[in-house]
């Protein structure tokens, strides 16, 4: 699948570039395992629009409505207007205890990879 526009990428790379044309995040759900979280705050440093530490120094996900959650939740409810997939994945990868879980549309766990 390519973007369906100019195909100018084809001769450059000898193939069409694969891109996400769904105009949305590949990651549809997110969860923080509070038992694994040690409050290192790497996630907050990488993506402060989405992650914060609560009063227990555990990571929480910031939601549009101003509330916070660690449980499994839809990325559509996150405080950020548009999710940056690379930044979201990087924040999960930065966690020293792999406490951040990312899931696809069908609920498949995409990170950490199984």
By CB under 6 A, name the binding residues for ligand SF4: 32, 37-43, 59, 94-97, 99-100
Nearest approach in angstroms of CB 48 to ligand SF4 is 11
* CB distance 94 to 42 below 8 Å: yes
**Identity of the residue, 62 or 99, whose beta carbon is nearer to ligand SF4 in the bound complex:** 99
Integer Cα distance of 19 and 31 in angstroms = 25
Nearest approach in angstroms of CB 88 to ligand SF4 is 12
* CB distance 32 to 112 below 8 Å: no
**Identity of the residue, 32 or 88, whose beta carbon is nearer to ligand SF4 in the bound complex:** 32
Integer Cα distance of 31 and 100 in angstroms = 6
Nearest approach in angstroms of CB 35 to ligand SF4 is 11
Phi and psi at residue 68, in whole multiples of 5°?
Answer: -130, 150
**Identity of the residue, 89 or 95, whose beta carbon is nearer to ligand SF4 in the bound complex:** 95
**Identity of the residue, 40 or 69, whose beta carbon is nearer to ligand SF4 in the bound complex:** 40
Q: What angle do CA 105, 109, 112 make, to 5 degrees?
A: 140
Nearest approach in angstroms of CB 64 to ligand SF4 is 20
């Amino acid at each position: 699948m390519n973007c369906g526009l100019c195909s100018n990428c084809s001769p450059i790379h000898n193939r069409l570039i694969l891109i996400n044309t769904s105009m949305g995040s590949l990651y549809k759900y997110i969860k923080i395992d509070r038992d694994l979280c040690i409050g290192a705050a790497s996630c907050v440093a990488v993506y402060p629009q989405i992650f914060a530490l609560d009063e227990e120094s555990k990571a929480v996900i910031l939601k549009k409505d101003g509330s916070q959650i660690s449980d499994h939740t839809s990325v559509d409810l996150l405080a950020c207007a548009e999710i940056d997939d690379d930044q979201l994945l990087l924040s999960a990868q930065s966690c020293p205890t792999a406490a951040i879980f990312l899931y696809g549309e069908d609920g498949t766990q995409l990170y950490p990879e199984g």
